[in-house]
Amino acid sequence: MRHVLADYPDLEHFARTNVAYAAAQFVGWEHAESLVWKLKVEQGSAVYLKAHKQARKFEQELFAYQSWINFKDLAPQVLAIKRAGQRALLLAEVKGEVLEGLELSEKLWLEVYRQAGSFLAQFHALPYQDTDISLKDAFQQRLQAWRQRGRGIVPETDFGLLQAALEKVSSPLKNLRRVPCHRDFSPRNWLWDGSTLRFIDFEHARADLFLSDLVRLASYYFPRNSSFETAFWQGYGRQLTADEQNLLQYCCLQEAITTIIWAEEHQDSRFKRMAQQVFERLRQSL
């Protein structure tokens, strides 16, 4: 499906009111929860128009940019906000190319992962007062919600496996608190300009268990090269404890099941197959 900005007159008016651009190119994911256009402005630079389908994701992204992101030019700056009608943000361009699919030398990849770890450590260290329900209760509620949603997609035995795994990590969960998290932290949302790593797409950002930012890396990227994981933790500044390692394994198991459900709902066979492979690998290690 082609998303032509002219077919969204409310968004086009918002964009033209705030920036003079020559062309609009759709650059979002086809079945994503947001629509994204690259607006080409003078001298080859660009501005990004991001329209959110869900109010929650709009508020999360806006809050992250306005309240959490203070790392100079490592993430987009908000240029304009549209709250009426279709919610949208105009975002300044961030230097670099998306790393997903980019070919780099191993030396550069190690630097990328080191910088990713360093950024994430700073992000997780931002001040936050956790007054929500306990993470133990939140994880149980999350499991039950996906259990209902996944009926007919995921076998009940797999949810039983997940429930048993959660019970094994419930004790260390009691002592952990939420911190600011990106919650979609992977090379598809990292930009590289040859020396500096930058970060985009904060629509999922909210306070959560810090390990939620490690799930996609541990599931899909670290297994490709153990040196990437080593470089990441060097940047992060510490290694995981044994309890945290077990918790991360649970989070990856949960993510695999929820991804299978999401992929089935969106008829994304490739994404579903990738999640199934992760689930099978983790199940064998339990």
Give pLDDT tens digits along the chain (286 positions). 679 999 999 999 999 999 999 999 999 887 677 999 999 997 778 999 999 999 999 999 999 999 887 666 899 999 999 999 999 999 999 999 999 989 999 999 999 999 999 999 999 999 999 999 999 999 999 999 999 999 999 999 999 999 999 999 999 898 899 999 999 999 999 999 999 999 999 999 999 999 999 999 999 999 999 999 999 999 999 999 999 999 999 999 999 999 999 999 989 999 999 999 999 999 888 7
Residue 199 · residue 191 · CB < 8 Å: yes
- Joined tokens for residue 163: 């429930």
Domain 5-94, architecture per CATH:
2-Layer Sandwich (3.30)
**Alpha-carbon gap, residue 17 to 179, rounded angstroms:** 37
Count helices and strands in the chain by DSSP H and E runs: 9, 10
Task: Using DSSP bridges, classify how beta strands 190-192 and 97-98 pair: parallel, antiparallel or unpaired.
Answer: antiparallel
**Alpha-carbon gap, residue 85 to 11, rounded angstroms:** 9
- Joined tokens for residue 12: 């086009």
Which run of H or of E encompasses 54?
none
Place of tokens 């999350």: 142
DSSP 3-state of 205: coil
Give residue 71's pLDDT. Answer: 66
**Alpha-carbon gap, residue 109 to 228, rounded angstroms:** 7
Give residue 72's pLDDT. Answer: 66
Bridge partners of 23, per DSSP, are: 40
DSSP 3-state of 233: helix
Give residue 1's pLDDT. Answer: 64
**Burial grade of 269 (CB within 10 A; 0-12, 13-18, 19 or more):** exposed
User: Amino acid identity, residue 169?
Assistant: V
pTM passes above 0.85: yes
Of 155, 258, 142, give the one whose Cα is nearest residue 208. Answer: 142
Bridge partners of 25, per DSSP, are: 38
Given the candidates 1.10.287.3510, 3.40.50.2000, 2.130.10.30, 3.90.1200.10, the CATH classification of the domain at 98-285 is 3.90.1200.10
Fold equal for 5-94 and 98-285: no
**Alpha-carbon gap, residue 67 to 205, rounded angstroms:** 11
**Alpha-carbon gap, residue 60 to 72, rounded angstroms:** 20
**Alpha-carbon gap, residue 77 to 9, rounded angstroms:** 24
Ordered DSSP codes for 82-113 = E-SSS-EEEEE--SSEE-TT----HHHHHHHH
Give residue 217's pLDDT. Answer: 97
Q: Where are the domains of the chain?
A: 5-94, 98-285
Give residue 31's pLDDT. Answer: 67
Encode pLDDT of 181-230 as tens digits: 999 999 999 999 999 999 999 999 999 999 999 999 999 999 999 999 99
Percent of the chain with pLDDT over 70: 98
Give residue 25's pLDDT. Answer: 94
User: Amino acid identity, residue 22?
Assistant: A
Bridge partners of 24, per DSSP, are: 39
Q: Max alpha carbon distance in the chain (Å)?
A: 58
**Alpha-carbon gap, residue 220 to 101, rounded angstroms:** 13
